[in-house]
Structure 1
Amino acid sequence: MQIIQSLSQVSGQYQALFVDLWGCVHDGVRAIPGAVEALTAYRRAGGRVVLVTNSPRPREGVAKQIAGFGVPEDAYDAIATSGDSARLALFRGAVGSRVWHLGPDHDLGFFEPPAILSDPMTITRVPLDQAEGVVCTGPFDPQADPSVMRPEFLAAKTRGLKLLCANPDIVVDRGEVREWCAGALAELYSEMGGESLYFGKPHPPIYDLARRRLAAVADVPDSAILAIGDGPLTDAAGAMGEDLDLLFISGGLGAAETGTAPGGSPDPAKLEVYLAETGIVPTYVIGTLR
């Protein structure tokens, strides 16, 4: 494991990057300038960038969202979202045709059939007591503890409903505020004895999608792909599971634990403890993507 100061120190060894968004390229409110500069410079040098995100939104929705944050189109080649991967499963019948949506209204785009399916199942959103399955795109209130959903989850589990999780992230930081994500709800449902289905990082479906999106613009072997992310249970675990080299961003979700100050590098001693506790084995570590 090597602590580096800039992506350019190692990027010449790789033909493509699989880059997490939240905590690496933006903070949920605005783009991280150094990250945008690093990615655009990498692409100018001939590299390819696929943004691999656990957002429940379709890639078009993510592109629009990050443009509003200040991430320009010339910072990336393609986007692979957990939402796209999960939508394919939904419209192939993974949790039935009548589903209860657990999530905010701004995620309703999730229920638009994917264009690549020629015969998508008709999906109808219904109340929980009429549902054949649950689609979770996130909590109704991201500040509320996931345990508030226990009554609904008990009813769903008792009826044997599967829960499709559109975003395996447990938490994210929106600016300075930490919020719960769909993954925390799916984790609770599983702990209660229910069955949760995952399609984003660290699970294989989103990496299969990312490889297909990359193949549309370049033929790149796995050995020439560098995964970049800040989530130990999602980005890091996914990269390790896919046998991809990993650049771990210590200044994201693990900033406090690794002693990474804004714009700085991790404290080596604290980083060593953090990596041991989380089981992360990165190829490189950097404070922030730059």
Structure 2
Amino acid sequence: MMSPLRFTPHLRDLVHDTDVLISDIWGVVHNGVAAFPDACGALQTFRKQGGIVVMLTNSPRPTPAVQEQLRELRVPDDCYDDIVTSGDLTRHYIAARPGEPLYQIGPDRDGPTFDGLDVSFAPLERADYIVCTGLFDDETETAEDYREMLLKALSRRLPMICANPDIIVERGHKIIYCAGAVAELYREIGGDVTFYGKPHLPAYHRAFELAAARRGAPTPLNRMLAIGDSVRTDLAGANNAGIACVFVTRGIHSADFTEAHEIDAAAAQRLFGGTRPPFVLMRDLRW
């Protein structure tokens, strides 16, 4: 039987043999409203000691837009070396199809995903494919509000590119739905969906490439450590990529860990299912 999972209070106890951290952003270093100072300090300290930090996010926006958001939330630039976003990967797909009509599902604020590209926006009836960056109004809508639209898209067999595989995130103290919720509904009714971002391997391979460029050589998997707060994306992604994971419980799964000091085998099966790479628990990221 599996031993109980206990909480580790400090990152410094976990990184003696670690050269690279692959860290989630939302839920780990901020909550969409404000930065977490202890988390930022932990990443800064790791870098000062010679480590490399690559932020890996399912944000549908490209890296410059994410960096601007981090600065607005008071996340210091020296917390990280590079950023990989789902938006970056989505942009590569769009760039390979110049001028092809697409239909966007998502808010106007995701405009940077398309900046500088040869994009032809079209109504659903004339589009060749869909790019889902989010919900039009994530404060009030759920994926079910899109079922009728998705059935129309399915009737035309339109492929969908999901630029953010997250189902939900925490904004302040509120849970909101993301593009992944809409994309999963489309997939469930028979739609063709390509997901760019965690837990899928291309996002991790890009993070590994950037870390190798910083270090001058590839980093062995056993000397990398992922950090995240989502079972579905961060923990599963680390499992897919073959690296250990620090699972931060203050994020979207916080209600499952209230007052818990350790997680027994039955609770671990309920919370984590079959996703069992080497990982440890932290309530929040701190040095």
TM-score in terms of structure 1 length: 0.91
One-letter amino acid of the structure 1 residue matched with residue 165 of structure 2: P
SS at match of 1:11: coil
Structure 1 match to 2:126: 130
Structure 2 match to 1:60: 64
Shift of 1:97: 1.2
Match runs of 1:265-284 below 5 Å: 266-269=260-263, 273-279=267-273, 280-281=275-276, 282-284=278-280
Task: Name which of 50, 53, 56 aligns with 1:49.
Answer: 53
Match runs of 1:163-202 below 5 Å: 163-202=160-199
Instruction: Give the whole-Å Cα distance in 2 for the aligned partners of 1:289 and 1:22.
Output: 12
One-letter amino acid of the structure 1 residue matched with residue 81 of structure 2: D
Shift of 1:93: 3.1
One-letter amino acid of the structure 2 residue matched with residue 259 of structure 1: T
Q: Per-residue CA shift, 1:94-124, capped at 9, x if unaligned?
A: 9x8110010001111111357xxxxxxx321
Instruction: Give the whole-Å Cα distance in 1 for the aligned partners of 2:14 and 2:213.
Output: 24
Instruction: Give the whole-Å Cα distance in 2 for the aligned partners of 1:233 and 1:40.
Output: 27
One-letter amino acid of the structure 1 residue matched with residue 241 of structure 2: E
One-letter amino acid of the structure 1 residue matched with residue 225 of structure 2: L
Q: Does 1:22 align with 2:26?
A: yes
Instruction: Give the whole-Å Cα distance in 2 for the aligned partners of 1:178 and 1:37.
Output: 26
Task: Name which of 39, 44, 56 aligns with 1:35.
Answer: 39
Match runs of 1:1-290 below 5 Å: 2-93=6-97, 97-113=100-116, 122-142=118-138, 143-218=140-215, 219=217, 220-259=219-258, 266-269=260-263, 273-279=267-273, 280-281=275-276, 282-290=278-286
Does structure 1 retain, via aligned residues, the 8 Å contact 2:103–2:127? yes
TM-score in terms of structure 2 length: 0.92
SS at match of 1:17: strand
One-letter amino acid of the structure 2 residue matched with residue 212 of structure 1: E
Does structure 2 retain, via aligned residues, the 8 Å contact 1:5–1:286? yes
Instruction: Give the whole-Å Cα distance in 1 for the aligned partners of 2:22 and 2:46.
Output: 13
Shift of 1:227: 0.3
Point out which structure has higher relative CO (alpha carbons under 8 A, 6+ apart): 2
Instruction: Give the whole-Å Cα distance in 1 for the aligned partners of 2:57 and 2:145.
Output: 26
Q: Per-residue CA shift, 1:131-170, capped at 9, x if unaligned?
A: 0110000000113121111111111110000010000000
One-letter amino acid of the structure 2 residue matched with residue 148 of structure 1: D
SS at match of 2:214: coil
Does structure 2 retain, via aligned residues, the 8 Å contact 1:136–1:164? yes
Shift of 1:222: 1.8
SS at match of 1:217: helix
One-letter amino acid of the structure 2 residue matched with residue 10 of structure 1: L
Q: Per-residue CA shift, 1:27-59, capped at 9, x if unaligned?
A: 001110110010001111111100000000101
The percentage of counterpart residues that share the same residue type is 38
Residue range with higher mean Cα deviation, 82-91 or 160-169: 82-91
SS at match of 2:60: coil
Does structure 1 retain, via aligned residues, the 8 Å contact 2:100–2:120? yes
Tell me the number of residue pairs that the alignment of Structure 1 and Structure 2 aligns.
Answer: 277
Does structure 1 retain, via aligned residues, the 8 Å contact 2:175–2:252? no
Instruction: Give the whole-Å Cα distance in 1 for the aligned partners of 2:96 and 2:222.
Output: 32
Instruction: Give the whole-Å Cα distance in 1 for the aligned partners of 2:129 and 2:12.
Output: 46
Structure 2 match to 1:118: none
Instruction: Give the whole-Å Cα distance in 2 for the aligned partners of 1:284 and 1:269.
Output: 11
* RMSD between superposed Cα atoms in Å: 1.7
Structure 2 match to 1:263: none
Unaligned stretches of 5+ residues in structure 1: 115-121, 261-265
One-letter amino acid of the structure 1 residue matched with residue 182 of structure 2: L
